[in-house]
Amino acid sequence: MNNASLSDHYTALPLLSGIEEIADNYDAFILDIWGVLHNGHAVFNGVIDCLTTMKDQGKAVLLLSNTPGRRHEIASALDHLKIHRDLYNFIVTAGDSAHDDLKNRQGQRCWFAGGDPDGKTLTQGLDIPLSNGHEDADFILNLAYDMDAAEKAHFHALLADAARNGLDMICPNPDIIVMVGDTVKECPGAYALYYEQQGGAVTYHGKPHEPVYEMAWRYLGAPDKKRILAVGDSLHTDIQGANRFGIDSVFNLSGIHRQECVGSDGRAIDNAKLATLITGQEHSPAFVLDGLKW
Protein backbone atom coordinates (compact mmCIF):
# COMPACT_ATOMS: atom_id res chain seq x y z
CA MET A 1 0.00 0.00 0.00
CA ASN A 2 1.51 3.35 -1.01
CA ASN A 3 1.51 6.51 1.11
CA ALA A 4 -1.50 7.97 -0.71
CA SER A 5 -3.54 4.84 -0.02
CA LEU A 6 -2.43 4.83 3.60
CA SER A 7 -3.54 8.42 4.00
CA ASP A 8 -6.92 7.51 2.51
CA HIS A 9 -7.22 4.69 5.06
CA TYR A 10 -6.31 7.06 7.86
CA THR A 11 -9.17 9.40 7.05
CA ALA A 12 -11.54 6.63 8.18
CA LEU A 13 -10.17 7.12 11.73
CA PRO A 14 -11.22 10.57 12.93
CA LEU A 15 -8.46 12.73 14.46
CA LEU A 16 -10.42 14.41 17.22
CA SER A 17 -9.79 18.00 18.20
CA GLY A 18 -10.89 16.96 21.70
CA ILE A 19 -13.10 14.63 23.69
CA GLU A 20 -15.98 17.10 23.42
CA GLU A 21 -16.66 15.93 19.85
CA ILE A 22 -17.80 12.50 21.04
CA ALA A 23 -18.56 13.00 24.74
CA ASP A 24 -22.33 12.77 24.33
CA ASN A 25 -21.96 9.17 23.10
CA TYR A 26 -20.38 7.93 26.34
CA ASP A 27 -21.20 7.92 30.04
CA ALA A 28 -18.00 6.35 31.37
CA PHE A 29 -14.35 6.88 30.44
CA ILE A 30 -11.49 4.48 31.17
CA LEU A 31 -8.26 6.47 30.97
CA ASP A 32 -4.72 5.18 30.92
CA ILE A 33 -2.46 7.18 33.24
CA TRP A 34 1.15 7.16 32.04
CA GLY A 35 1.19 8.39 28.44
CA VAL A 36 -2.30 9.92 28.64
CA LEU A 37 -2.37 12.01 31.82
CA HIS A 38 1.38 12.50 32.30
CA ASN A 39 4.80 11.45 30.99
CA GLY A 40 6.34 10.42 34.30
CA HIS A 41 7.53 13.95 35.06
CA ALA A 42 4.72 16.36 34.26
CA VAL A 43 1.01 16.45 33.42
CA PHE A 44 0.26 16.98 29.73
CA ASN A 45 -1.32 20.25 28.67
CA GLY A 46 -5.12 20.16 28.64
CA VAL A 47 -5.47 17.16 30.96
CA ILE A 48 -6.64 18.95 34.12
CA ASP A 49 -9.20 20.98 32.17
CA CYS A 50 -10.46 17.83 30.42
CA LEU A 51 -10.88 15.88 33.67
CA THR A 52 -12.60 18.85 35.30
CA THR A 53 -15.08 19.19 32.45
CA MET A 54 -15.79 15.43 32.40
CA LYS A 55 -16.67 15.50 36.09
CA ASP A 56 -18.75 18.70 35.68
CA GLN A 57 -20.76 16.93 32.98
CA GLY A 58 -21.43 13.92 35.18
CA LYS A 59 -19.16 11.49 33.36
CA ALA A 60 -17.71 8.57 35.32
CA VAL A 61 -13.91 8.60 35.09
CA LEU A 62 -11.89 5.51 35.94
CA LEU A 63 -8.10 5.51 35.72
CA LEU A 64 -6.74 2.15 34.59
CA SER A 65 -3.00 1.59 34.82
CA ASN A 66 -0.59 -1.24 34.17
CA THR A 67 1.48 -0.20 37.14
CA PRO A 68 2.12 -2.92 39.73
CA GLY A 69 1.43 -0.35 42.43
CA ARG A 70 -1.83 -0.50 44.38
CA ARG A 71 -4.54 2.12 43.84
CA HIS A 72 -3.73 4.07 47.02
CA GLU A 73 -0.08 4.40 45.95
CA ILE A 74 -1.07 5.71 42.53
CA ALA A 75 -3.56 8.18 44.00
CA SER A 76 -0.79 9.62 46.19
CA ALA A 77 1.56 9.94 43.20
CA LEU A 78 -1.15 11.68 41.17
CA ASP A 79 -1.79 14.12 44.02
CA HIS A 80 1.83 15.27 43.69
CA LEU A 81 1.17 15.98 40.01
CA LYS A 82 -1.94 18.03 40.91
CA ILE A 83 -4.27 15.36 39.54
CA HIS A 84 -6.37 15.36 42.67
CA ARG A 85 -8.90 12.73 43.69
CA ASP A 86 -11.89 14.96 42.96
CA LEU A 87 -10.98 14.78 39.25
CA TYR A 88 -11.76 11.06 38.88
CA ASN A 89 -14.03 8.44 40.42
CA PHE A 90 -11.92 5.29 40.59
CA ILE A 91 -8.44 3.86 40.08
CA VAL A 92 -7.81 0.24 39.10
CA THR A 93 -4.28 -1.08 38.58
CA ALA A 94 -2.59 -4.23 37.37
CA GLY A 95 -1.20 -4.43 40.91
CA ASP A 96 -4.73 -4.65 42.33
CA SER A 97 -5.49 -7.56 40.00
CA ALA A 98 -2.17 -9.27 40.81
CA HIS A 99 -2.77 -8.88 44.55
CA ASP A 100 -6.01 -10.85 44.20
CA ASP A 101 -4.04 -13.61 42.45
CA LEU A 102 -1.35 -13.63 45.14
CA LYS A 103 -3.95 -14.19 47.85
CA ASN A 104 -4.45 -17.64 46.31
CA ARG A 105 -0.71 -18.41 46.43
CA GLN A 106 -0.18 -17.92 50.15
CA GLY A 107 2.31 -20.35 51.63
CA GLN A 108 4.28 -20.53 48.37
CA ARG A 109 7.81 -19.12 48.08
CA CYS A 110 8.24 -16.25 45.66
CA TRP A 111 11.30 -15.18 43.67
CA PHE A 112 10.93 -11.43 43.48
CA ALA A 113 12.64 -10.82 40.13
CA GLY A 114 13.16 -7.16 39.47
CA GLY A 115 14.48 -3.86 40.65
CA ASP A 116 11.28 -2.11 41.72
CA PRO A 117 11.22 -2.20 45.55
CA ASP A 118 7.72 -0.69 45.60
CA GLY A 119 6.48 -3.86 43.95
CA LYS A 120 7.09 -5.78 47.18
CA THR A 121 3.98 -4.10 48.57
CA LEU A 122 2.09 -6.64 46.47
CA THR A 123 3.00 -9.34 49.00
CA GLN A 124 2.55 -7.25 52.16
CA GLY A 125 0.01 -8.74 54.53
CA LEU A 126 0.16 -12.08 52.72
CA ASP A 127 1.88 -15.30 53.76
CA ILE A 128 4.28 -15.33 50.81
CA PRO A 129 7.92 -15.73 51.85
CA LEU A 130 10.52 -14.34 49.46
CA SER A 131 13.23 -16.72 48.23
CA ASN A 132 16.82 -15.85 47.34
CA GLY A 133 16.43 -16.97 43.74
CA HIS A 134 14.56 -19.25 41.40
CA GLU A 135 16.22 -22.42 42.71
CA ASP A 136 14.13 -22.51 45.91
CA ALA A 137 11.04 -20.64 44.66
CA ASP A 138 7.58 -21.88 43.77
CA PHE A 139 6.82 -19.02 41.40
CA ILE A 140 8.26 -15.76 40.04
CA LEU A 141 6.93 -12.26 40.67
CA ASN A 142 8.33 -10.29 37.72
CA LEU A 143 8.91 -6.60 38.32
CA ALA A 144 11.99 -6.19 36.16
CA TYR A 145 12.53 -2.79 34.58
CA ASP A 146 15.07 -1.21 32.26
CA MET A 147 18.54 -2.78 32.53
CA ASP A 148 21.90 -2.20 30.89
CA ALA A 149 23.22 -4.84 28.49
CA ALA A 150 25.20 -6.82 31.08
CA GLU A 151 22.37 -6.86 33.63
CA LYS A 152 19.91 -7.92 30.97
CA ALA A 153 22.09 -10.78 29.75
CA HIS A 154 22.51 -12.06 33.32
CA PHE A 155 18.78 -11.78 34.02
CA HIS A 156 17.89 -13.53 30.77
CA ALA A 157 20.14 -16.45 31.78
CA LEU A 158 18.37 -16.72 35.14
CA LEU A 159 14.97 -16.63 33.44
CA ALA A 160 16.00 -19.37 31.02
CA ASP A 161 17.01 -21.57 33.97
CA ALA A 162 13.72 -20.85 35.74
CA ALA A 163 11.74 -21.72 32.62
CA ARG A 164 13.54 -25.05 32.34
CA ASN A 165 12.60 -25.71 35.98
CA GLY A 166 8.94 -25.09 35.18
CA LEU A 167 8.32 -22.08 37.43
CA ASP A 168 5.18 -20.06 36.77
CA MET A 169 5.62 -16.29 36.44
CA ILE A 170 3.23 -13.58 37.57
CA CYS A 171 3.62 -10.38 35.57
CA PRO A 172 1.79 -7.44 37.19
CA ASN A 173 2.75 -5.01 34.42
CA PRO A 174 2.29 -6.30 30.85
CA ASP A 175 3.70 -3.10 29.30
CA ILE A 176 6.64 -3.74 26.98
CA ILE A 177 7.98 -0.19 27.08
CA VAL A 178 7.14 3.14 28.69
CA MET A 179 8.13 6.73 27.98
CA VAL A 180 9.86 8.42 30.93
CA GLY A 181 10.10 12.01 29.80
CA ASP A 182 11.56 11.57 26.32
CA THR A 183 13.31 8.26 27.09
CA VAL A 184 12.00 4.78 26.21
CA LYS A 185 12.47 2.20 28.97
CA GLU A 186 11.64 -1.51 29.07
CA CYS A 187 8.93 -2.76 31.42
CA PRO A 188 8.18 -6.18 32.99
CA GLY A 189 6.15 -7.22 29.95
CA ALA A 190 9.35 -7.30 27.87
CA TYR A 191 10.93 -9.81 30.25
CA ALA A 192 7.72 -11.82 30.52
CA LEU A 193 7.71 -12.11 26.72
CA TYR A 194 11.29 -13.42 26.84
CA TYR A 195 10.23 -15.92 29.51
CA GLU A 196 7.44 -17.22 27.29
CA GLN A 197 9.92 -17.54 24.42
CA GLN A 198 11.99 -19.79 26.70
CA GLY A 199 8.96 -21.99 27.29
CA GLY A 200 7.91 -20.48 30.62
CA ALA A 201 4.29 -19.95 31.66
CA VAL A 202 3.18 -16.39 32.47
CA THR A 203 0.02 -15.13 34.16
CA TYR A 204 -0.52 -11.50 33.17
CA HIS A 205 -2.39 -8.88 35.18
CA GLY A 206 -3.29 -5.61 33.52
CA LYS A 207 -4.12 -4.47 30.02
CA PRO A 208 -4.82 -6.03 27.51
CA HIS A 209 -5.94 -8.98 29.65
CA GLU A 210 -9.58 -9.34 30.65
CA PRO A 211 -9.41 -9.66 34.47
CA VAL A 212 -8.40 -6.02 34.99
CA TYR A 213 -11.16 -4.84 32.62
CA GLU A 214 -13.74 -6.91 34.48
CA MET A 215 -12.58 -5.28 37.71
CA ALA A 216 -12.83 -1.81 36.14
CA TRP A 217 -16.28 -2.56 34.69
CA ARG A 218 -17.58 -3.65 38.10
CA TYR A 219 -16.26 -0.47 39.72
CA LEU A 220 -18.16 1.55 37.12
CA GLY A 221 -21.37 -0.27 38.02
CA ALA A 222 -21.38 -2.69 35.06
CA PRO A 223 -22.76 -0.17 32.51
CA ASP A 224 -23.64 -0.89 28.89
CA LYS A 225 -20.30 -1.41 27.18
CA LYS A 226 -21.47 0.72 24.24
CA ARG A 227 -21.43 3.71 26.59
CA ILE A 228 -17.81 3.20 27.72
CA LEU A 229 -14.82 4.79 25.99
CA ALA A 230 -11.19 3.86 26.73
CA VAL A 231 -8.30 6.25 26.02
CA GLY A 232 -4.74 4.95 25.83
CA ASP A 233 -1.38 5.48 24.15
CA SER A 234 -0.44 1.84 23.50
CA LEU A 235 -1.80 -0.18 20.59
CA HIS A 236 -0.55 -3.37 22.25
CA THR A 237 -2.17 -2.86 25.67
CA ASP A 238 -4.79 -0.09 25.68
CA ILE A 239 -6.30 -0.50 22.22
CA GLN A 240 -6.04 -4.28 22.08
CA GLY A 241 -7.52 -4.57 25.58
CA ALA A 242 -10.47 -2.33 24.72
CA ASN A 243 -11.10 -4.31 21.54
CA ARG A 244 -11.05 -7.61 23.43
CA PHE A 245 -13.43 -6.30 26.08
CA GLY A 246 -15.85 -4.91 23.51
CA ILE A 247 -15.60 -1.19 24.20
CA ASP A 248 -14.66 1.73 21.94
CA SER A 249 -11.20 3.25 22.21
CA VAL A 250 -9.19 6.36 21.42
CA PHE A 251 -5.55 6.04 20.39
CA ASN A 252 -3.79 8.92 22.12
CA LEU A 253 -0.61 10.12 20.41
CA SER A 254 1.12 11.79 23.36
CA GLY A 255 2.73 8.54 24.55
CA ILE A 256 4.96 5.71 23.39
CA HIS A 257 4.05 5.76 19.67
CA ARG A 258 4.44 9.49 19.16
CA GLN A 259 7.84 9.42 17.45
CA GLU A 260 6.47 6.90 14.94
CA CYS A 261 3.74 9.36 13.92
CA VAL A 262 5.31 12.82 13.77
CA GLY A 263 6.69 14.46 10.66
CA SER A 264 10.15 15.85 9.97
CA ASP A 265 9.53 18.85 12.24
CA GLY A 266 9.21 16.46 15.20
CA ARG A 267 5.88 17.97 16.26
CA ALA A 268 2.99 17.74 13.76
CA ILE A 269 1.31 14.37 13.15
CA ASP A 270 2.12 12.88 9.74
CA ASN A 271 -1.05 11.20 8.46
CA ALA A 272 0.81 8.69 6.30
CA LYS A 273 3.04 7.60 9.19
CA LEU A 274 0.05 7.26 11.46
CA ALA A 275 -1.78 5.18 8.87
CA THR A 276 1.28 2.96 8.42
CA LEU A 277 1.34 2.33 12.15
CA ILE A 278 -2.35 1.46 12.43
CA THR A 279 -2.93 -0.37 9.14
CA GLY A 280 -2.61 -4.11 9.46
CA GLN A 281 -3.02 -4.15 13.24
CA GLU A 282 -5.36 -6.82 14.58
CA HIS A 283 -6.64 -4.21 17.02
CA SER A 284 -7.75 -0.79 15.87
CA PRO A 285 -9.08 2.30 17.67
CA ALA A 286 -12.34 4.04 16.86
CA PHE A 287 -10.71 7.47 17.11
CA VAL A 288 -7.32 9.18 17.28
CA LEU A 289 -6.43 12.05 19.61
CA ASP A 290 -3.26 14.14 19.78
CA GLY A 291 -3.19 14.64 23.54
CA LEU A 292 -6.07 14.36 26.02
CA LYS A 293 -8.04 17.59 25.97
CA TRP A 294 -11.68 18.59 26.09
pLDDT value at residue 39: 86
Residue 294 belongs to some domain of the structure: no
Q: Is residue 171 part of a domain?
A: yes
Looking at the fold, whether 281 and 214 belong to one and the same domain comes out as: yes
Q: Are residues 115 and 187 in the same domain?
A: yes
Which of 10-14, 39-43, 181-185, 220-224 is the most confident on average? 220-224
Name the percent of the chain lying above pLDDT 70: 86
pLDDT at 134 over 60: yes
Residues 234 and 181 reside in one and the same domain: no
Both 12 and 91 in a single domain?
A: yes
**Band of pLDDT at residue 179, cut at 50, 70 and 90:** low
pLDDT band at 38 (very low <50, low <70, confident <90, very high): very high
Which among 172, 204, 236 is the end of a domain? 204
Is the domain of 219 the same as that of 195? no
- 128 and 114 in a single domain? The answer is yes
Range in 110-114, 195-199, 255-259 the model is least confident about? 255-259
Q: Who wins on pLDDT, 141 or 270? A: 141
CATH of the domain at 125: 3.40.50.1000
Assess whether pLDDT exceeds 70 at residue 169.
yes
127 and 106 in contact (C-beta within 8 Å)?
Answer: yes
Q: Which of 184, 204, 224 is the last residue of a domain?
A: 204
- Does residue 219 share a domain with residue 88? yes
Cβ contact 167:111 at 8 Å: yes
Q: How confident is the model at residue 268 (pLDDT cuts 50, 70, 90)?
A: low
CB-CB contact of 87 with 55 (8 Å): yes
Lowest mean pLDDT among 127-136, 193-202, 237-246, 264-273: 264-273
| Domain contains 76 | yes
Asked whether residue 83 falls in the same domain as residue 12, the answer is: yes
Residue 142's CB is within 10 A of a number of other CB atoms, namely 26
Residues 27 and 49 in one domain: yes
Instruction: Examine the domain organization and report whether 44 and 78 are in the same domain.
Output: yes
| Owning domain of residue 166 | 105-204
The DSSP symbol for 166 reads T
Evaluate whether residue 38 is within a structural domain. yes
Question: What is the Cα–Cα distance from 168 to 172, expressed in whole angstroms?
Answer: 13
Domain count of the chain?
A: 2
Is pLDDT above 90 for 14?
no
Residue 183 has pLDDT above 90, yes or no: no
Q: What residues form DSSP beta bridges with 230?
A: 30, 249
Which of 204, 233, 261 marks a domain boundary?
204
Statement: residue 11 has pLDDT above 50? no
Secondary structure of the chain: what % helix, strand, coil (to 5)? 40, 20, 40
Q: Is residue 198 part of a domain?
A: yes
Least confident of 95-109, 113-127, 166-180: 113-127
The DSSP line for 219-275 is HTTS--GGGEEEEES-IIIIIHHHHHHT-EEEEETTSTTHHHHB-TTSSSB-HHHHH
**pLDDT at residue 276 tops 80:** no
Instruction: Verify cis geometry, omega within 30 degrees of 0, for the bond prior to 188.
Output: no
Looking at the structure, tell me whether residues 89 and 222 fall in a common domain: yes
Residue 255 inside a domain? The answer is yes
pLDDT at residue 287 greater than cutoff 70: yes
Q: Is 204 helix (H, G, I), strand (E, B) or coil?
A: strand
Both 195 and 219 in a single domain?
A: no
pLDDT above 70 (res 111): yes
Mean pLDDT, the chain, whole residue set: 87
State pLDDT tens for residues 202-238: 999 999 999 899 999 999 999 999 999 999 988 888 9
CA distance 71 to 124: 14
Q: Report if residue 186 sits inside a domain.
A: yes
Tell me, yes or no, whether 100 lies in a domain: no
Q: pTM for the full model? A: 0.79
- pLDDT at site 5: 43
**pLDDT at 3 exceeding the cut of 70:** no
